[in-house]
Structure 1
Amino acid sequence: NQLTDSTMLSNLCRQFTTAASLSARSCAGPRTAVPRLPASSVQSMAARRLALPSTATTSLAAFSTAAASQANTEYVEVLKLNMLENNPGARRQKKRVGRGVGSGRGKTSGRGHKGQKARAGGGVKLGFEGGQTKLYKRLPKRGFTNKRFATPMVPLNVGKIQDFIDMGRFPHVAADTAADAMPILTLKDLVDAGITNHTTVKHGIKLLSHGTERLRTPIKLHISRASKEAIQAVENVGGQVTTVHYNRLALRVLLKPHKFGVHPPKMARPPPKLQPYYTNWDDCRGYLSVQSQMRDLLAQRPELEEAFQK
């Protein structure tokens, strides 16, 4: 009997739920899903039906109507693509103007009566303060305003030059070349080797000291500028560094000699502002210093070395 009662209870619960669903579905709107009765309500109804013999004669339709009218009905809304929308307050609705006084922006559309700001296309410039001195004119200027006179250099590290020598990018330079047989590398040689592009060399190249532990070839360089550490690193392996001034025309003659024929223009001396740099030997190895000119003269005429020593 106990097994029969439990089986009947489960069957009744299933029937009550289905009947309530069909009854609610017939009266629900298009966006309302199938209602679900709480399990406690269904079980309590089924228990009362089994306990009272008189309720056995009650029709299924009457019971389903009573079950559907329960106040604890839970509705589950089915998600559809046409129901997707933003969260409340995520987007502010556009305010329409000129649509009657009831809208709050009718008649003059919030512009008031007459005046420059009421006209179509009217208004004042940004920063205008009614005729008084503007804020950006009251505050003093800060920073540099002569950026167009800057001369940025292309950075080049000594370690990168050694890497290109090891790759064989310089035809006349090898890793085991002696210092006496080492040719002078100019900006033209560096550009032809592919270290940098000629379009980026607008004012020259500056030699830096990154990668000094890899440098082992005694190179000779004619370069625009060089740091103290880079000069020391090159000279430690038996090389030479000479800083040479190139203006825009001289740089073009050096990088593109085929455009000037057999009579290219001569190199210009550095301006007075740069002369202290290119005449300094201790820190810059300038090509206009006395020591640099003496070194170049003795390299061309070795027989004069004894005369200078005397």
Structure 2
Amino acid sequence: MELNNLKPAEGAKHAARRVGRGIGSGLGKTAGRGHKGQKSRSGGYHKVGFEGGQMPMQRRLPKRGFKSHLLKYNAEINLSELDQLGLDEVDMLALKEAGLVGQMIKVVKVIKSGELTRAVKLTGIGATAGAKAAIEAAGGSLA
């Protein structure tokens, strides 16, 4: 085998469609575009979403909602998950090792959902006002 003998597999290559090259080719005169109209002209087509002058769908519907691209870095855990963890000191690394938050998470906040029966010291983790009160009532603290 030599480089000058290499060629593509049989049927792998197709002849290019040569339009406007005479009546015998089947693609002469109008070159497969039919007669007249916007689609037959060069450069003549509509923009995406154009509905022939009718008010397009993206303008008929109301603008609504917003989703922050930073959400993938934020997480929340509840008091009952914190209780089941069984640790006296909890930080971001402990939560990631326990699988309570994902590896990409940068900000964690404790929410008041469930019960906390043990004293837990939180380091580098935020908490809502209700969750903070519940943690301090159980004898824990936030740092």
- For the aligned pair, the TM-score class normalised by the smaller chain equals 0.5 to 0.7
Aligned counterparts of 1:137 and 1:197: Cα–Cα separation in 2 = 35
2:135 to 222, 227, 234: 234
Deviations for 1:174-213, whole angstroms, at most 9, x for unmatched residues?
xxxxxxxx5x4211122223333323x1x3111012221x
2:63 corresponds to 1:142: yes
- What is aligned with 2:95? 190
Residue identity opposite 1:211 in structure 2: G
Q: Using the aligned pairs only, state the percent identity.
A: 28
Q: Structure 1 pair 195/140, CA: closer, same or farther in 2 (3 Å)?
A: closer
Aligned partner of 2:110: which letter? L
Given that residues 157 and 210 in structure 1 are in contact (C-alpha distance below 8 angstroms), is that contact kept between their aligned partners in structure 2?
yes
Q: Which of 79, 83, 90 matches 1:158?
A: 79
Residue pair 1:185, 1:220 contacting (<8 A) in 2 also = yes
Higher relative contact order (CA 8 A, sep 6+): 2
The answer (yes or no) to whether the contact 1:127–1:134 under 8 Å persists in 2 is: no
Q: Evaluate the alpha carbon distance shift between residue 225 and residue 143 of structure 1 in structure 2; reply closer, same or farther with a 3 A threshold.
A: farther
Q: Is the 8 A contact 2:110 2:131 kept in 1?
A: yes
Deviation at residue 218 of structure 1 after TM alignment: 0.7
Check if 1:124 corresponds to 2:46.
yes
Contact 1:206 1:223 in 2 (8 A): no
Task: Report the Cα distance in structure 1 between the residues aligned to 2:67 and 2:83, rounded to whole angstroms.
Answer: 37
TM-score, normalised by the number of residues in structure 1: 0.29
Cα deviation 1:212-251 (Å, max 9, x = unaligned): 1xx2211110244211221111111111123xxxxxxxxx
Q: Does 1:208 find its partner at 2:130?
A: no
- Residue identity opposite 1:204 in structure 2: V
For these two proteins, the number of residue pairs brought into alignment is 109
Is the aligned partner of 1:217 residue 2:118?
Answer: yes
Q: Equivalents in 2 of 1:126, 1:224: separation in Å?
A: 46
Matches within 5 A, 1:1-310: 113-118=35-40, 123-128=45-50, 135=56, 142-143=63-64, 147-148=68-69, 153-165=74-86, 173=87, 182=88, 184-199=89-104, 201=105, 203-212=106-115, 215-242=116-143
Per the normalisation by structure 2, the TM-score is: 0.55
- Helix, strand or coil: the match of 1:147? coil
C-alpha separation in 2, matches of 1:135 and 1:129: 6
* In 2, Cα distance between equivalents of 1:149 and 1:164: 26
The structure 1 segments of at least 4 consecutive aligned residues displaced by more than 4 Å after TM superposition are: 136-141, 149-152
* Residues 226 and 159 (structure 1), Cα distance of their counterparts in 2 relative to 1, 3 Å cut: same
Structure 1's unaligned 5+ residue stretches are 1-110, 166-172, 174-181, 243-310
Aligned CA distance change for structure 1 residues 128 and 209 (closer, same or farther; 3 Å)? closer
Higher strand residue share: 2
Report deviation, 1:146.
7.4
CA distance in 2, matches of 1:129, 1:217: 63
Long gaps (5+) in structure 2: 1-32
Cα separation, 1, equivalents of 2:101 and 2:66: 29
SS at match of 2:93: helix
The alignment partner of 1:148 has SS state of coil
